[in-house]
Amino acid sequence: MHRIGFFVCRGHDALDLAGPLSAFSQVATAAGHSPYDLHVISQAGGSLLGNAGLPIETKPIGRRPFDTVIFVGGDIAPMQEPENIAAARKLSARAARVASVCTGAFLLAEAGLLDEVKATTHWRYAAQLQSRFPRVKVEGDSIYIADGRIWTSAGIASGIDLALAMIEKDMGPETSRTVSRLLVVPYRRPGGQSQFSAMSQMDPESDRIRIALNFAREHLTEALPVERLADAARLSPRQFGRAFRRETGETPAKAVERLRVEAARLRLQDGSEPIEQIALAVGFTDPERMRRAFVKLYGHPPQSIRRESRLIGSR
């Protein structure tokens, strides 16, 4: 049996624990058997109060090692307590796989486990993690990252994505896909996918601008001049351009480019389509134009993002 310990501190977040714990527990239903032996643990055991006021019973870490240890997020202050840092070091030294959900990355960092490691956390705390632990290679926009035996995930629900990725690695994609259906969640989002969609980042106030953005997303393969978007919003091009910049902070052309890059990135990560074909499929007139857009938004060309996605998936 593959022993998994979910390590919690006082002030833990209930969903940071329940999400991945539920995913692993559903493997028995999905596959008819399960290789996982699941334990909720803490430094001393006993009842621990979460940050939502819900207590949970935990077992002490004990002497027997765990194959995978997942450090659950929540309030950061308890993760700085010496006894929890010592427990994290002890558990991690004997585990083949070490992971964190959300702010659980701070406990890994306190224990020195993230030095020179690529890691992520909830977007709200990414800058704080980088500032406090400069040796950590923080990638605050990723849903989850696997760097060797160290896995880290972003906020709350992304712990489910991390668990599904582990299940896929351990038991294959079909079991992981079945678990996602049982949980009624999307099948594993790629780890490098942004914590935000382009639509949510722009977040316009008015229905007219939202309608125009939805129209653009549904017609990415077609020409989308400002006049066409303005017509979808039922505004004059002049009115539309002013309102769009005021509500989103960028021009319609830049927004369309962002939507196209996001669509291309998902296709790059999910399959093996030729890059030239992807460029045309999302509305770029040629691959070079798409390459420039990727470098501008992500700092890397499409080829690099595809290589990184395959590397993460192979771990």
Give 245-309 as a DSSP string: HHHHSS-HHHHHHHHHHHHHHHHHHH----HHHHHHHTT-SSHHHHHHHHHHHHSS-HHHHHHHH
* Distance, CA of 269 to CA of 310 (rounded, Å): 8
* Distance, CA of 29 to CA of 101 (rounded, Å): 24
Most confident of 61-70, 186-195, 241-250, 285-294: 61-70
H-helix segments, the chain = 14-25, 27-31, 82-93, 104-110, 126-132, 158-171, 173-183, 198-202, 207-218, 226-233, 237-248, 252-270, 275-281, 287-298, 302-314
State the Cα torsion 16-21-23-26 to the nearest 10°: -150
CB-based burial label for 228 (10 Å; 0-12, 13-18, 19+): middle
The CA angle 285-286-292, to the nearest 5 degrees, is: 105
How confident is the model at residue 312, as a pLDDT?
47
Whether residue 195 contacts residue 155, with contact meaning beta carbons closer than 8 Å, is answered with yes
Q: Is the pLDDT of residue 103 over 70?
A: yes
CB-based burial label for 145 (10 Å; 0-12, 13-18, 19+): buried
* Distance, CA of 240 to CA of 234 (rounded, Å): 9
Hey, how many other C-beta atoms are within 10 angstroms of the C-beta on 279?
Answer: 23
pTM of the model: 0.67
Give the residue from 146, 147, 170, 149 showing the smallest Cα distance to 158: 146
Query: Which tokens belong to 144?
Result: 């989850």
Query: Which tokens belong to 188?
Result: 């594993």
For residue 136, the SS3 value is coil
Can you tell me which residue has the tokens 């991390």?
162
Going by pLDDT thresholds of 50, 70 and 90, the confidence category of residue 260 is: very high
Q: Is the pLDDT of residue 205 over 80?
A: no
* Distance, CA of 188 to CA of 235 (rounded, Å): 39
**Region 190-217: what's the mean pLDDT?**
71
* Distance, CA of 231 to CA of 313 (rounded, Å): 43
Residue type, 28: A
Handedness of CA 82, 84, 85, 91 (dihedral sign): positive
Give the residue from 117, 44, 109, 98 showing the smallest Cα distance to 76: 109
Q: φ, ψ for residue 249 (rounded to 5)?
A: 85, 5
Going by pLDDT thresholds of 50, 70 and 90, the confidence category of residue 143 is: confident
How confident is the model at residue 301, as a pLDDT?
87
Going by pLDDT thresholds of 50, 70 and 90, the confidence category of residue 200 is: low
Q: Is the pLDDT of residue 264 over 60?
A: yes
